[in-house]
Amino acid sequence: MEAYKIENLTKQYGLKTVFDDISLSISIGDKIALVGINGTGKSALLKCIAEIEDHHGIVTHPKDFTIEYAAQQPLLNESLSIVDNVIDETHPVMQKFKKYDALLKQMETELNDQLIEQLSIVQQQIEQLDGFSYRAEAESILTKLGIKDLSQPITSLSGGQKKRVALAKSLLKAPDLLLLDEPTNHLDFESIHWLITFIKQYKKSVLVVTHDRYFLNEVTNRIVELRNGKLNLYKGNYNDYITHKAELEIIESKQEQKERQLYKQELDWMRKGAKARTTKQQARIDRFANIEDKVKQHQTKETMEINLAHKRLGKQVFEFEDIGMEFDDKVLFKDFSTIVQTSDRIGIVGQNGTGKSTLLNIIANLILPTYGTMITGQTVRIGYYKQEDIKLNQDLRVIDFLREKAEAATTSSGEKISVTQLLERFLFPSSMHGTYIHRLSGGERKRLYLLSILIEGPNVLLLDEPTNDLDTETLTILEDYLESFSGAVITVSHDRYFLNKVVDTYWFVNHQHIDKVLGDFNDYLSYKQMIDEQKKQEALVQEKAMPEQTKQSTRVSYKDKRRFEFLSEAIETLETKLEAIDQSIAAETTNYDKLNELTNERQALENEYETYYEEWDELSERME
């Protein structure tokens, strides 16, 4: 059933047309990915659909249809807590929670019957609005997205953490159409897995821009490609899209070949002095003009090429001996020893905050380890692609920025090419060479940044989240380049599709140690599951050995007691819902669509139940 439709949509920035006369229909339950080369207008299209930017065209949707846009660079209210930023300020329960929290804070220093009565009244008002469930859901989403400390101020959050808070806000609103712009950036593997499950179970519509091809394969049922200002629609997930696109390109290639042959014939005729003496001759001249336009379009087709040469690399690359790193008495990792050799392909993995980027900075000689030694080979020439802190002079033109790095480049075949030619191979046409960097899209800046590193011919590549903000086409070409790259590659990435294509060894940063795992991403996952289970068993043994007095030493606040009461009620309600849905599943034997819907609904309830029960169990132990 169609829920949202745009027709003849056109968007311009000044004289530049971003897209022209495009149309798109979105049905209820659709999970659509919007793909295309960086700078083609994907984010602009999302903003037009969200009614954030002006446009020309017709938009139709049902009355009271809601749209929520999770932007790449969100604005948060720094005067509110993390949880209150997630709960919509217009939600009627917000003011009740502000009063509720103020009373709880007052009760930490004074406790009397009047305050208890006021709190009881506010609590009843919140319960009538189902506010505690709403807030618990907000906290649960934040936790699943990797925001563990909900008490920290907004001002202390990193850019990636702020984006996760904004993403949680959009997910909690549960709009009819959810617009996501690079949602997996800054998420670790566990959070990405949770988000995939959430989107799969989401019954409404989703339109997402993302470079994460594993995410696209798992979630989407349609791919919409924005190219040359037009939309091309493909059914299925990302793998289906690249298969169908390859088939179309073969057909188009054959058609282009025919048109070039015809153009050559007609060009010979025109050069012989063709004149429009008859209607038939005039028609042939007109046809030649059309063929010429088509051939020119084929010649300007957007295709990217990376084939730059790099300096020779000797056998010795890096040698680590018992290195470790501490920050403010916090141990990130210790006692790490290994040797990196030519052609090694290493992926650094682990939860956010474990020191992965710090390890890259040590390898790049930007910081020293707290202890231990690292030896760098004499022939090593590092190219470091950083996730943050990209220092591009915004006031420089594209071509001037690149000329600061080199006047020319050498390809892998030994061919010398100019900076102008190199830019064109990186999908910066001549019309963009004079463009100021501050006018480029985020993805275009990242592509230019990548080019500025490769032009210097490094033989060791350090890549920190290289897939963030690069389009899928650029990533595919980068992966092909890395496959033929004879130097060493060390990357931090949460993109499992990229890791599976590029990496054959993992450094797993976990519990202050770095473990080496050989194989693909599934081998790493198996190893991680084994380690997680071992740590869980060790924690249980330690807990049993802990003196009873120590277990009870944690003071339980009045707020904790009220939270415990809420969780008890919520768990009881969920148990009733789970029992009812189990009965419905047992009774449903013929309608497979309904059965699938019930199963997904049960999984969502079970996830919520487990989250509540885990917190309830922890509070229960403290209150015993």
pLDDT tens-digit series, residues 547-583 = 655 555 455 666 677 778 778 877 887 888 888 787 7
Decide: helix, strand or coil at residue 195: helix
Reported as a single tens digit per residue, the pLDDT across 322-336 is: 999 998 888 999 999
CA angle 436, 439, 440 (to 5 degrees): 100
Rounded Cα gap, residues 164 and 465, in angstroms: 16
- pLDDT band with cut points at 50, 70 and 90 for residue 285: low
Q: How many angstroms from the chain centroid is the CA of residue 591?
A: 36
Half-sphere exposure of 604 (CA within 13 A, CB side): 18
- Name, of 142-156, 172-186, 601-615, the range with top average pLDDT: 172-186
pLDDT at 167 over 90: yes
The whole-angstrom separation of Cα 608 and Cα 604 is 6
**Section 376-400 average pLDDT:** 88
pLDDT at 267: 65
Is residue 134's pLDDT more than 90? no
| 456/419 Cα distance (integer angstroms) | 12
Element (H, E) at 383: strand 382-385
Confidence of residue 15 (pLDDT cuts 50, 70, 90): confident
∠ CA 140-145-148, nearest 5°, is 70
Q: Above 90 in pLDDT, residue 259?
A: no
For residue 300, name the pLDDT band (cuts at 50, 70, 90).
very low
Neighbours of 248 (CB within 10 A): 12
* Per-residue CA distances from 588 to 83, 430, 591, 593 (Å): 39, 62, 7, 10
d(CA 102, CA 119): 10
**Mean pLDDT (whole number) for 296-321:** 75
SS3 517: strand
For 223, the 3-state DSSP assignment is strand
Lowest mean pLDDT among 415-419, 428-432, 445-449, 558-562: 558-562
Q: How far apart are CA 224 and CA 222, in angstroms?
A: 7
Q: Is the dihedral of CA 489, 495, 497, 500 positive or negative?
A: positive
The pLDDT of residue 284: 64
Question: In angstroms, rounded to a whole number, what is the distance separating the alpha carbons of residues 212 and 223?
Answer: 13
Angle made by CA atoms 283, 288, 290, in degrees to the nearest 5: 95
Q: Which residue has the higher pLDDT, 19 or 258?
A: 19
In eight-state DSSP terms, residue 436 is B
Tell which residue, 229, 330, 316, 307, has the closest CA to residue 18. 229
What gap in Å lies between CA 316 and CA 179, rounded to an integer?
A: 48
Strands 16-27 and 2-13: antiparallel
Task: Please report, for the chain, the start and end positions of each structural domain, with discontinuous segments joined by +.
Answer: 1-66+175-245, 79-172, 316-530, 546-623
pTM recorded for the entire structure: 0.76
Burial class (CB in 10 A: 0-12, 13-18, 19+), 215: buried
Task: Tell me which residue has tokens 């188009």.
Answer: 252
pLDDT beyond 80 at 378: yes
Mean pLDDT over residues 488-513, rounded? 95
Overall average pLDDT of the 156-173 stretch: 90
Angle made by CA atoms 229, 232, 235, in degrees to the nearest 5: 155
- Topology match between the domains 1-66+175-245 and 316-530: yes
pLDDT band with cut points at 50, 70 and 90 for residue 1: low
- Joined together, the tokens standing for residue 191 give 């959070």
Task: Give mean pLDDT, residues 107-130.
Answer: 82
> For the ranges 37-51, 512-526, 536-550, which has the lowest average pLDDT?
536-550
Q: Yes or no: say if 19 and 10 are a contact pair by the CB < 8 Å rule.
A: yes
Measuring CA to CA, which residue among 345, 45, 352, 50 is closest to residue 178?
50
Average of per-residue pLDDT across 212-231: 93
CATH 1.10.287 is the classification of domain 546-623: yes
In whole angstroms, give the CA distance from residue 446 to residue 463.
Answer: 12
Q: Give me the pLDDT at residue 217, please.
A: 95
Percentage of the chain lying above the pLDDT 70 cut: 88
Name residue, tokens 């002079």.
Answer: 393
Architecture of the domain defined by 1-66+175-245: 3-Layer(aba) Sandwich (3.40)
CA-CA distances (angstroms) from residue 230 to 35, 320, 485, 568? 12, 51, 35, 54
With cut-offs at 50, 70 and 90, classify the pLDDT of residue 594.
Answer: confident
Bigger pLDDT: 252 or 510?
510
Looking at residue 465, the DSSP 8-state letter turns out to be: S
Given a contact cutoff of 8 angstroms between Cβ atoms, the answer to whether 352 and 294 are in contact is no
pLDDT band of 271, cuts 50, 70, 90:
low
Rounded to an integer, what distance in angstroms lies between the CA atom of residue 188 and that of residue 419?
37
| CB neighbourhood size of 41 (10 A) | 22
50, pLDDT greater than 50: yes
> Residue 604's pLDDT is what?
77
Rounded mean pLDDT, 325-352: 93
446-465 average pLDDT score? 92
In CATH, what number does 316-530 get? Answer: 3.40.50.300
Torsion of the alpha carbons at 82, 83, 89 and 91, rounded to the nearest 10: 170
Candidates 201, 208, 207; CA nearest to 185 is 208
pLDDT number for residue 498? 95
pLDDT, greater one: 565 or 524: 524
Query: 472: buried, middle or exposed (CB in 10 Å: 19+, 13-18, 0-12)?
Result: buried
- Whether residue 401 has pLDDT greater than 70: yes
Cα 425 from Cα 488, distance rounded (Å): 24
Question: What is the mean predicted confidence (pLDDT) over 451-476?
Answer: 90
Left (φ > 0), alpha (ψ -120 to 50) or beta: where does 8 sit?
Answer: left
Least confident of 305-314, 502-511, 523-532: 305-314
**Highest mean pLDDT pick, 338-352, 383-397, 546-560, 591-605:** 338-352
Q: How confident is the model at residue 129 (pLDDT cuts 50, 70, 90)?
A: confident
- Confidence grade of residue 380 (pLDDT, cut at 50, 70, 90): very high
